[in-house]
Amino acid sequence: MKKFLILTSAFVALVSCKKEKELSANTTWEFEKVIPLDGVNPIGIAVDGSDIFLSDGDNNRVVKVDVTGNILFEYDGFERPMHIDFGEAAMQITDKVTTSMLKERALFVPEYGRDSIAVIRDNKRDYLVFKDSLDAPAAISVFKNEIAIADFYNHRILYYNGNSWLTIGKEGKEHGMFYYPTDVQITSDGIYVADAYNNRGQVFDKNGAFKAVFGEGEKMNAATGIYVGAGQIYLTDFENKRVLVFSKDYKLKQELKTEVSKPTDVIVVGDKLLITDYGTGALVQYEATLVDR
Amino acid sequence: MKNIAIIMTVVISLFAFAKADAQKSNLDQFEVQVDGLGCPFCAYGLEKKFKEFKGIKDVKIDIKTGDFSFKYPSDKALSMQAVQDQVVKAGYTPNVSKITRANGKIETSQGKKEEKLGALTSAKLKVYGACGMCKARIEKAMNDMAGVDNAVWDVDSKMLSISYDKSKVSMNAINKQAAAVGHDTDAVKADKSTYNNLPGCCKYRD
C-alpha cells in the first residue's frame, strides 16, 4: 500500500510538471519558428480550440489553418475581413431576410469594405444588427455578452456592455482620443485599443472613461494590433517590424523582432505566441521561456 | 429550324461581345501616385472611399509604391479634381495623377509649365529615403522645380541624378527642395515635423 501511495504521488508530481506553463508579467519570449502560409496575407488571428483562423484581407477570405500553416478550410466572399474574434454574445443578427438572436458560439468577422460584422456558425452567415453605422470596421472583440468594435474612419470604439451601446473616443491626439484605431480587446478589467496612427495603446474602463496610455515613448509607427494575455499586453509596431510586450502596469518588458516584418496581430495560445505577418505571408511563432510558478 | 436557332445564337453572342467591347472601350483609365499609403488598412481604406464612385472597375493598389489605378465609365466624365479630392477624403495625399480618356486623350496633374532651358548641367546628389513612395515624392518635387529638366532617384543607392539649367536653379535650391518634402541631403536636413509626417515606410533616420 505504501509503495502504491509513493507511485501514485510520483505520477501526480510528473503530471503536475507537465502542466501548462503559467504566464505572467515576467514571461519572456524566444523566437521558435516561421510558419509559411501559402498565398495568405494575414491580418487578424483568432483561435478556437486547436483551430487557428486568419483573416486574409487581400483575398477577401478567412482561412482555417493547422499548426504547420496548411489551409484546412476557407470562408470566402467577405469584403476585406480584418481583426476577427470568437464569442457567444447574445446579439440580434440578420440574414437580410429574418432577424433572430445569436445563441451559440460564432466567429465574428468585421468587413472593412462592407461596413458590417459577419457572424459565422458552421456554414451559416448572418450579420450583426446595428442602429449606428460603421465606416470601415477594423476589429471586433467579444467578451461574454460584451462587444467592442474599432470603427476606423470614425475614429472611435463602439462598445456594447450587454445592455446598450456606448461610443468611446473621437478623432484627435489627446489621451482618450483616437487617430485611426485598428484593433480592440475587451477583458474583465477594461477595453484595450490599438490606436494605430497615434502610435500607442490606450485603455478604457467599461463606462468609456480613459484609464491609461502606453507605448508613447517607444517611437512606434502604426500600432495595428493588440492582445491582452496573462500579465502582459502585446502591441504590434507595423512599420518598425516588431511586437512590443508590456506588463499590465504598462512597462515595456520585451521587444520581439526576430523574423518579424509587417506584424498586424498577435495572440497567445498556451505557451506559444503567434504573430500574423502581413509582409511575409506567414505566422511567426515565439515560445515562453521564463515563467513564474 | 435547328440551323436557324444556331445562327440566331451566334448572332446574339456576337452582339453581346460587341456590346461588352464597346463598354470596355468606354472606360477612362486613372492612375494616381498616392502618398501616405503604408499598410493594408490604408490601402483598403482608399479602395473603400473610391467605391463611392458607382461604376468603378479594376481597382488596383500597390502598397509598396503607392500606385493606385482604376477604370471608370467615360460618360461620367470624372474629373482630375474629383479624383484628387477623394484621395484627400480617404486621408492621403495625391502626387502625380494621370487620366487616359477612352478617346485616347491624356490628362495629367503635373502642373509644371513648359519652359525653355539653356545649357543643361548633370549632377548626382545623395538624397536620403527608403522606398518606392520616397522615389515618387522626391522625383515629383524635383521635376516640379523651374529650371529642372529631369530628375531620377535610385532607391538602392539613394542617389538623385538630375539635369538642370544652372542659370535658373541652383544646387542649393535643389538641396532645399528635397528637405522641404522630408528628405535629407548631406547639405540640408528636413525639419523634424516634415520628417515625422512622412508615411511609416518612408522613415529613413535611425
CA dist., res. B131 & res. B98, Å (int): 21
Per the structure, the complete domain to which residue B154 belongs is given by 120-202
Q: How far is A135 from chain B (nearest CA, A)?
A: 9
CA dist., res. A230 & res. A72, Å (int): 29
Specify the number of domains making up chain A: 1
Residue of A nearest to B39 (CA): A238
The answer to whether residue B1 is domain-embedded is no
What pLDDT score does A41 carry? 94
Q: Measured between CB atoms, does A178 come within 8 Å of chain B?
A: no
Q: What percent of chain B has pLDDT over 70?
A: 85
CA dist., res. A143 & res. A207, Å (int): 15
Q: Where are the alpha helices (DSSP H) in B90-170?
A: 132-143
- Determine which of A21-25, A208-212, A216-220, B127-131 has the lowest per-residue pLDDT on average: A21-25
CB pairs under 8 A between A and B: 52
* Buried residues in A223-236 as b, exposed as e (16+ CB within 10 A): bbbbbbbebbbbbb
pTM above 0.80, yes or no: no
B10 confidence band (pLDDT: 50, 70, 90): low
Give the three-class secondary structure for A145.
coil
Q: How far is A113 from chain B (nearest CA, A)?
A: 6
Contact list in B for residue A221 (CB cut-off 8 A) is 200, 203
CA dist., res. B11 & res. A242, Å (int): 61
What pLDDT score does B113 carry? 57
The answer to whether residue B146 is domain-embedded is yes
Contact list in A for residue B200 (CB cut-off 8 A) is 221-222, 238-240
- Determine which of A44-53, A134-143, A159-168, B29-38 has the lowest per-residue pLDDT on average: B29-38
What pLDDT score does A113 carry? 93
What pLDDT score does B2 carry? 62
State the number of CA atoms in the 13 A half-sphere of A78 facing the CB.
34
Q: Are residues B39 and B69 in the same domain?
A: yes
B166 confidence band (pLDDT: 50, 70, 90): very high
- Determine which of A76-90, A128-142, A260-274, B4-18 has the lowest per-residue pLDDT on average: B4-18
The answer to whether residue A4 is domain-embedded is no
Q: Which of A143, A175, A139, A171 is nearest to A156 (CA)?
A: A171
Contact list in B for residue A180 (CB cut-off 8 A) is 41, 91
Cell, residue A118: 459577419
The answer to whether residue A13 is domain-embedded is no
Q: Do A182 and B47 touch (CB under 8 A)?
A: no
Q: Do B203 and A239 touch (CB under 8 A)?
A: yes
Q: Measured between CB atoms, does A113 come within 8 Å of chain B?
A: yes
What pLDDT score does A18 carry? 42
* Domain at A50, CATH number: 2.120.10.30
Facing residues of A35 across strands? A283
Burial of A97: CB neighbours in 10 Å, binned 0-12, 13-18, 19+? exposed
CA dist., res. B124 & res. A67, Å (int): 51
CA dihedral B193, B150, B140, B113 (to 10 degrees): 110
Give the three-class secondary structure for A192.
strand
Give the model confidence (pLDDT) of B113-129 as tens digits: 567 888 999 999 999 99
| End position of a domain, from candidates B62, B87, B108 | B108
Lookup result for grid cell 491582452:
A228
Average pLDDT across chain A, whole number: 91
Residue, of A143 and B137, whose pLDDT is higher: A143
The answer to whether residue A8 is domain-embedded is no
* Domain at B177, CATH number: 3.30.70.100
Contact list in B for residue A152 (CB cut-off 8 A) is 41, 45
B27 confidence band (pLDDT: 50, 70, 90): very high
The answer to whether residue B7 is domain-embedded is no
* Buried residues in B109-142 as b, exposed as e (16+ CB within 10 A): beeeeeeeeeeeeeeebebbbbbbbbbbbbbbbb
Sheet containing A181-186: which strands, arranged edge to edge?
A: A181-186, A191-195, A200-204, A210-214
CA dist., res. B189 & res. B178, Å (int): 9
ipTM of the prediction greater than 0.85, yes or no: no
Mean pLDDT of B47-64: 89
Contact list in A for residue B197 (CB cut-off 8 A) is none
Mean pLDDT of B50-63: 89
A262 confidence band (pLDDT: 50, 70, 90): very high
What pLDDT score does A108 carry? 97
